[in-house]
Amino acid sequence: MSLTLNSLKNIPLIRQGDPLADILLNSLEQTNIQIQDDDILVLAQKIISKTEGRMVNLAEVAPSPHAMEIAPQTDKDPRLIELILQESNEVLRIRKGVIVVEHKLGFVCANAGIDHSNVMGDGNENEEYVLLLPKDPDASAKKIREEIKQKTGKKVGVMIIDSHGRAWRNGTVGICIGISGIPALVDERGWTDLFGYTLKATVVGVADELAAAASLVMGQAAEGTPAVHVRGYPYPPGEGSLADLIRPKDTDMFR
């Protein structure tokens, strides 16, 4: 079993409306990778959000009374808090520097996944701009997958990832926020182990494992490698979705 991850070379700065599938195919060529059936492309949330126009100028956001009320408990700009509230179903924890929410997409995360870094505004005002998550990342992944199929004839999987903190471990890790053409979970309950003993409890978060692997190759800062090509993923194609990865509230250990 061999799994290989390559970051794609020469991905340009992405702007709203850019033809992402064409850009990816061009970068694959420049990286000397010939796309094959069952390959997977893992994409950083940022480039999806940018093509989909999810940048917001903080100067144009008016904080609500609720945002103003929360502001003293954290060290955040009330306008950013307002966006976090707008992007969330529920606020779960407020600490200095972090607001843990259930995002409208269903998952628990810090600051509604709103991102300051690698977002360019106009001129020197770049810190005024922030980037929201894609509105429907599964659909975004599916669109790119279908465009690649149409342009190359190849059946690939596409995954969109972000970096999240964990409840009880230090450091962020890559996690899947959108998926198309590959399974999100693999249910090994009922499989037998080396001694024929039946596994009772293992459902593996394979999409999050792949997201973590791709995140390693992307890096976080100035490298500018927001897309990773994966070959050798050990699970067959399938139709995973973000919803598969979200723990139902009644089994959520956090709430």
Minimum distance of a second copy from residue 63's CB (angstroms): 20
150 versus 251: smaller Cβ distance to a second copy: 251
Minimum distance of a second copy from residue 157's CB (angstroms): 13
Minimum distance of a second copy from residue 65's CB (angstroms): 26
CB 38 within 8 A of CB 234: no
Dist. CA 191–CA 75, nearest whole Å: 49
CB 178 within 8 A of CB 240: no
81 versus 147: smaller Cβ distance to a second copy: 81
Dist. CA 62–CA 82, nearest whole Å: 8
3-state secondary structure of 129: strand
53 versus 192: smaller Cβ distance to a second copy: 192
18 versus 146: smaller Cβ distance to a second copy: 18
Query: What amino acid is encoded at 41 in this protein?
Result: L
Find the radius of gyration of the CA atoms of the chain.
19
68 versus 204: smaller Cβ distance to a second copy: 204
Query: What amino acid is encoded at 209 in this protein?
Result: E
Dist. CA 4–CA 210, nearest whole Å: 11
Structure tokens at 182: 């590959």
Closest CA to 212 of 165, 163, 253, 251: 163
Please, what is the Cα angle at 189 between 141 and 251, to 5 degrees? 70
Neighbouring-strand partners of residue 157: 40
68 versus 199: smaller Cβ distance to a second copy: 199
65 versus 196: smaller Cβ distance to a second copy: 196
Q: Cβ neighbours of residue 39 under 8 Å, at least 6 residues apart?
A: 154, 156, 157, 229, 230, 231
Minimum distance of a second copy from residue 30's CB (angstroms): 14
